[in-house]
């Protein structure tokens, strides 16, 4: 439990650091997404274990530890998006659904990579495959976020 909690808290510190940077909210959000995707892809077995703990919820203390730490990270992301909405950089959206879309997409690609590349029968076991999927995933999410959050009058 301590390993799980520490790993999530480390990412929370990274998120807070990005959030404190004096750059546009879009840059912050894109950096957060890239960092999150790379972090998950750098330790797929750990991510799968966390997803299993959350989905099965057989150990309430572990479930609570993971959920609480993850929600602290979600709160930082939510603040970045809400700040972007408040200052007009982003259009008004359902922020939690956006976060669920981002996190869900990353998790889905990591857990089921064959959905985006049917040739990956054994998953992301080769560095070459991991690099290709990582680039595709981050690029896709960046385009999705920019398209979705850019105000209509800015297009």
Q: Which residues contact 52 (CB under 8 A, 6 or more apart)?
A: none
CA dihedral 43, 49, 51, 56 (to 10 degrees): 180
Cα distance between residue 50 and residue 117, in whole Å: 24
For the stretch 98-148, pLDDT in tens is 999 999 999 999 888 888 888 876 577 788 888 989 999 999 999 999 999
Q: Which residues contact 99 (CB under 8 A, 6 or more apart)?
A: 74, 77, 78, 81
For the entire predicted model, the pTM comes to 0.86
Question: CA 123, 128, 133: angle at the middle one, nearest 5?
Answer: 60
Cα distance between residue 120 and residue 129, in whole Å: 8
Q: What is the pLDDT of residue 121?
A: 63
Cα distance between residue 106 and residue 121, in whole Å: 18
Cα distance between residue 60 and residue 55, in whole Å: 11
Phi, psi of 31 (to 5 degrees): -65, -40
Domain boundaries, the chain: 2-154
Cα distance between residue 150 and residue 85, in whole Å: 10
| Residue 43: band (very low, low, confident or very high) from pLDDT cuts 50, 70, 90 | confident
For residue 91, which of 154, 29, 140, 31 has the smallest C-alpha distance? 154
For the stretch 45-99, pLDDT in tens is 888 888 888 888 788 888 888 888 888 889 989 999 999 999 999 999 999 999 9
| CATH assignment, 2-154 | 1.10.357.10
């Amino acid at each position: 439990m301590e390993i799980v909690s520490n790993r999530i808290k480390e990412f929370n510190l990274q998120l807070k650091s990005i959030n404190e940077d004096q750059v546009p909210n879009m840059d912050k959000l894109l950096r957060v997404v890239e960092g999150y995707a790379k972090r998950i892809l750098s330790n797929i077995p750990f991510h799968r274990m966390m997803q299993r703990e959350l989905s099965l919820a057989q150990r309430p203390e572990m479930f609570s530890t993971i959920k609480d730490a993850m929600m602290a990270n979600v709160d930082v992301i939510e603040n970045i998006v809400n700040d972007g909405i408040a200052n007009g950089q982003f259009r008004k959206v359902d922020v939690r659904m956006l976060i669920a879309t981002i996190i869900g997409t990353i998790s889905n690609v990591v857990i089921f990579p064959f959905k985006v590349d049917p040739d990956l029968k054994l998953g992301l076991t080769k560095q070459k495959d991991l690099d290709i999927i990582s680039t595709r995933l981050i690029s896709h999410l960046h385009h999705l976020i920019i398209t979705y959050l850019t105000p209509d009058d800015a297009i």
